[in-house]
């Protein structure tokens, strides 16, 4: 039996921020030039995001529910409500918050995924964790073994600093583990706290990053075993990775003294538009030397929403209809771009789409998933959804 995703579950922090309120906070910072104010307004207003989640409770809308990062008895860390200033803590302070706030999210998502899969903690043979927004050791993989009561001999792997495409190497590794061991049950967990690295800046790349990134965690159970719970699944058919001929300087992720700095240039959608068909050829195949018709041959799409303009460019280049991009756009609208875990949020929506015509007929559906990251790297996967 092929390796299949048997369950996907997600978690987000309690604090919800509206796009309008965060836009106004960034636009009102002292020293922000008029040009930067216009760029901030344009980036936030055109993002197609309504709300995002963050572990920084100081950013919460007045009167809204907050997460655990707020400390009423101490000085503010990231944002001062009294002065209206975005603060600039050092990388160590930001990473301390990551160390405290990431484990509850990743453990919660993992526990939910395990519960809904029908497997017990004793069944898990491998753990693969993914994150690019913080570091600690013993790391997230270790925390999962302890918190979930997994076997101390569970094989553990951590994929770090890959950016938005990180879930794909994790899923590929899970499929390879299952191919090598038919009894393997692999837990994959992505956790990202992107908002820990916000900063006030006139730099267009920093402005774009502040307008789209959010916090969240997603977990999946992958196995080739036939036992466990019933329900729809996603067979992992084929993976492909490629590096575009240009774009190395247009998407990058570096560490500074005051957080991690994202480079996300306005040229990224154009680069993706030029490269996406060639990147998809290994998973879609070709007809007479051209990439097989993606809009007609694939029912479901899970495109990582790096931003609205990226989704627009993918849709126009591949000639997809609105319904095929609906899951990606809805995730972007409601929770933003959570880096590596975002594509799992989309796949969860596809996996649990109870209104699917295929569920009524029992037909299988082809699913194509893609994400883009530093390099510029394009990761893609073909899957089969079975009801």
- The 10s digit of each residue's pLDDT in 127-144 is 999 999 999 999 999 999
Give mean pLDDT, residues 338-343.
97
Burial (0-12, 13-18, 19+ Cβ within 10 Å), 96: middle
Average pLDDT over the chain reads: 92
In the chain, what percentage of residues exceed pLDDT 90?
77
Contact 212, 306 (CB under 8 A): yes
- The 10s digit of each residue's pLDDT in 271-309 is 898 888 888 888 877 655 566 666 677 999 999 999 999
Q: Give CA separation, 330 vs 48, 175, 268, 302, 333, in Å.
A: 9, 28, 21, 11, 5
Task: Indicate if the pLDDT at residue 4 is higher than 60.
Answer: yes
Give 251's contacts (C-beta < 8 A, 6+ positions apart): 163, 263, 264, 265, 268, 372, 373, 374, 375, 376
Write the secondary structure of 149-176 as one string of H (helix), E (strand) and C (coil): CCCCCCEEEEEECCHHHCHHHHHHHHHH
Give mean pLDDT, residues 310-324.
93
Classify strands 233-243 and 4-11 as parallel, antiparallel or unpaired: antiparallel
Task: Indicate if the pLDDT at residue 68 is higher than 50.
Answer: no
The CA-CA-CA angle for residues 345, 380, 117, to 5°, reads 40
DSSP states of 112-159 as a string?
Answer: HHHHHHT--GGG--EEEEEESS---SS-HHHHHHHHHT--TT-EEEEE
Domain architecture of the chain: domains with CATH: 233-386 (3.40.47.10)
Q: What is the pLDDT of residue 281?
A: 86
Q: Say which range, 19-33, 173-187, 351-365, has the weakest mean pLDDT.
A: 351-365
Report how far residue 186's alpha carbon sits from residue 156's, in angstroms, rounded to the nearest whole number: 10
190 is catalytic: no
Closest residue by Cα to residue 22 from 55, 44, 47: 44
Report how far residue 91's alpha carbon sits from residue 256's, in angstroms, rounded to the nearest whole number: 7
Contact 263, 250 (CB under 8 A): yes
Q: How confident is residue 1, by pLDDT bands cut at 50, 70 and 90?
A: confident
Give mean pLDDT, residues 208-215.
94
Give 382's contacts (C-beta < 8 A, 6+ positions apart): 237, 238, 239, 283, 284, 366, 367, 368
Q: Say which range, 20-24, 152-156, 229-233, has the weakest mean pLDDT.
A: 229-233
Task: Indicate if the pLDDT at residue 71 is higher than 50.
Answer: no
Report how far residue 29's alpha carbon sits from residue 146's, in angstroms, rounded to the nearest whole number: 43
Q: Please pick, among 69, 132, 164, 178, the residue that the annotation labels catalytic.
A: 164
Task: Indicate if the pLDDT at residue 72 is higher than 60.
Answer: no
Task: Indicate if the pLDDT at residue 339 is higher than 60.
Answer: yes
Give mean pLDDT, residues 101-127.
98
């Amino acid at each position: 039996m092929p390796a299949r995703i048997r369950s996907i579950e997600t978690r987000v922090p309690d604090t919800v921020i509206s796009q309008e309120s965060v836009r106004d906070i960034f636009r009102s910072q002292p020293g922000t030039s008029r040009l930067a104010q216009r760029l901030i307004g344009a980036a936030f207003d055109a993002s197609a995001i309504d709300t995002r989640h963050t572990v920084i409770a100081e950013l919460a809308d007045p009167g809204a529910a907050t997460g655990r990062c707020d400390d009423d008895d101490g000085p503010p860390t990231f944002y001062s409500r009294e002065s209206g200033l975005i603060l600039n803590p050092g990388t160590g302070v930001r990473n301390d918050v990551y160390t405290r706030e990431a484990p509850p999210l990743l453990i919660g998502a993992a526990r939910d995924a395990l519960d809904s899969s029908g497997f017990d903690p004793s069944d898990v043979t491998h753990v693969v964790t993914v994150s690019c927004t913080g570091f600690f050791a013993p790391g997230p993989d270790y925390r999962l073994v302890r918190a979930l009561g997994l076997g101390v001999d569970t094989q553990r792997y951590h994929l770090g600093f890959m950016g938005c495409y990180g879930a794909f190497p994790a899923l590929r590794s899970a499929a390879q583990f299952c191919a090598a061991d038919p009894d393997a049950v692999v837990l994959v967990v992505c956790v990202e706290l992107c908002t820990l690295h916000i900063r006030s800046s006139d730099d267009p790349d920093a402005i774009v990053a502040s307008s789209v990134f959010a916090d969240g965690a997603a977990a999946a159970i992958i196995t080739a075993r036939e036992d466990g719970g019933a329900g729809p699944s996603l067979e992992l058919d084929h993976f492909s990775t490629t590096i575009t001929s240009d774009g190395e300087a247009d998407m990058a992720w570096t560490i500074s003294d005051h957080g991690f700095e994202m480079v996300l240039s306005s040229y990224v959608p154009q680069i993706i538009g030029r490269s996406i068909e060639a990147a998809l050829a290994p998973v879609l195949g070709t007809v007479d030397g051209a990439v097989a018709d993606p809009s007609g041959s694939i029912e479901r799409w899970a495109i990582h929403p790096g931003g609205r303009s990226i989704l627009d460019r993918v849709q126009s280049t591949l000639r997809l209809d609105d319904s095929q991009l609906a899951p990606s756009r809805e995730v972007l609208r409601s929770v933003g771009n959570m880096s590596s875990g975002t594509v799992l949020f989309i796949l969860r929506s596809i996996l649990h789409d109870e209104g699917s015509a295929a569920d009524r007929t029992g037909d299988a559906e082809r699913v194509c998933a893609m994400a883009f990251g530093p390099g510029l790297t394009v990761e893609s996967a073909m899957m089969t959804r079975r009801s």
